[in-house]
């Protein structure tokens, strides 16, 4: 089922890139409907991508944004662990759908839901072949209070390490570069998510978020995105979003 959804997502992105916007819209809406049945956070992302297809056609995209807002609102009320982030997403989508009053109301609601603090930091696996980047990440992570930091410089070694951590009942957080010496980041992400579908993966890349490979990897299930060069605050924001989305 995971491979089928990934194939649909990849095809939808290809349609979008080639300005086949009607076909792309239909596929993103199909993915959104399936994800809503599974109560997956990705449903909102698919609806937002569907709205982008409408906008590229010069059409009104408020309906898709409205659907995304209502879905995020449902998630916020059902899952306390991610309520703050879900309320924020709902507020933005209500704003894009033209429902300003609702956006303001939901934004105020988001402020009432303080994120749960994770006292015990999870192990972090940094997957990047650049010594300069890994050194910076290690320094930033230590400043943010993380001390269990593991670094791998190629995809195969990283997959073996993460597999071992998962088998040892650990729940690592992954910082993944999009280009490894032996394989691409999307290939690494796919293999890791096959082993643990709810694994937390933060993409770190010099590419834009609109890059097809980046979008494909986001569709696999990555929880956040950081573009190089990045600051410690950008890293902290990505870590915070990931912890808010954490499935316990």
Task: Please say whether the beta carbons of 100 and 84 come within 8 A.
Answer: no
Kindly report, residue by residue over 191-218, the tens digit of the pLDDT.
888 888 778 888 887 765 556 665 665 5
Q: Is the peptide bond before 235 cis (omega within 30 degrees of 0)?
A: no
CATH number at residue 159: 3.40.50.2300
Shared-domain flag, residues 25 and 59? yes
Kindly report, residue by residue over 64-112, the tens digit of the pLDDT.
999 999 998 888 887 766 677 788 888 889 988 889 898 888 888 877 7
Single out the residue of 141, 149, 134 nearest to residue 228, CA to CA: 134
Task: Please say whether the beta carbons of 206 and 158 come within 8 A.
Answer: no
Count of Cβ atoms closer than 10 Å to residue 52 Cβ: 18
- Residue 175 in this model has a pLDDT that exceeds 90: yes
Where does residue 219 rank: exposed (0-12), middle (13-18), buried (19+ CB within 10 A)? buried
Shared-domain flag, residues 128 and 200? yes
* Count of domains observed in the chain: 2
Model confidence band, residue 170 (pLDDT cutoffs 50, 70, 90): confident
| Position with higher pLDDT, 50 vs 107 | 50
Mean pLDDT, residues 32-39 taken together? 86
Residue 162 located in a structural domain: yes
Shared-domain flag, residues 130 and 240? yes
**Interatomic CA distance for residues 52 and 66, integer angstroms:** 13
Calculate the average pLDDT of the chain: 82
| Position with higher pLDDT, 43 vs 116 | 43
Shared-domain flag, residues 44 and 78? yes
Q: Is 145 left (phi over 0), alpha (psi -120 to 50) or beta?
A: left
Task: Please say whether the beta carbons of 160 and 154 come within 8 A.
Answer: no
The pLDDT assigned to 26 comes to 94
The pLDDT assigned to 220 comes to 53
| Residue-number span of the structural domain to which 170 is assigned | 124-244
Residue 118 located in a structural domain: no
Report the run of H or E that residue 101 belongs to, with start and end: helix 100-112
- Residue 28 in this model has a pLDDT that exceeds 60: yes
């Amino acid at each position: 089922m995971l491979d089928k959804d990934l194939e649909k997502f990849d095809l939808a992105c290809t349609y979008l890139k080639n300005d086949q916007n009607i076909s792309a819209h239909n596929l993103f809406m199909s993915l959104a409907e399936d994800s809503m049945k599974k109560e997956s956070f990705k449903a909102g992302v698919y609806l937002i991508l569907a709205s982008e297809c409408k906008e590229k056609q010069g059409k009104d995209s408020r309906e898709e944004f409205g659907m995304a807002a209502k879905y995020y609102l449902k998630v916020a009320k059902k899952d306390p662990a991610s309520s703050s982030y879900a309320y924020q997403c709902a507020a933005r989508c209500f704003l894009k759908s033209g429902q300003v009053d609702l956006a303001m109301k939901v934004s105020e609601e988001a402020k009432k839901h303080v994120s749960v603090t994770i006292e015990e930091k999870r192990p972090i696996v940094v997957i990047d072949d650049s010594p300069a980047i890994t050194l910076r990440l290690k320094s930033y992570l230590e400043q943010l209070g993380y001390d269990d930091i593991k670094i791998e410089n190629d995809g195969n070694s990283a997959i073996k390490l993460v597999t071992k951590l998962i088998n040892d009942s650990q729940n690592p957080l992954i910082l993944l570069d999009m280009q490894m010496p032996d394989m691409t980041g999307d290939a690494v992400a796919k293999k890791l998510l096959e082993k643990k579908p709810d694994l937390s993966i933060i993409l770190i890349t010099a590419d834009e978020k609109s890059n097809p490979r980046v979008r494909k990897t986001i569709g696999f299930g990555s929880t956040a995105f950081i573009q190089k060069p990045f600051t410690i605050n950008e890293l902290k924001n990505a870590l915070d979003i990931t912890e808010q989305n954490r499935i316990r």
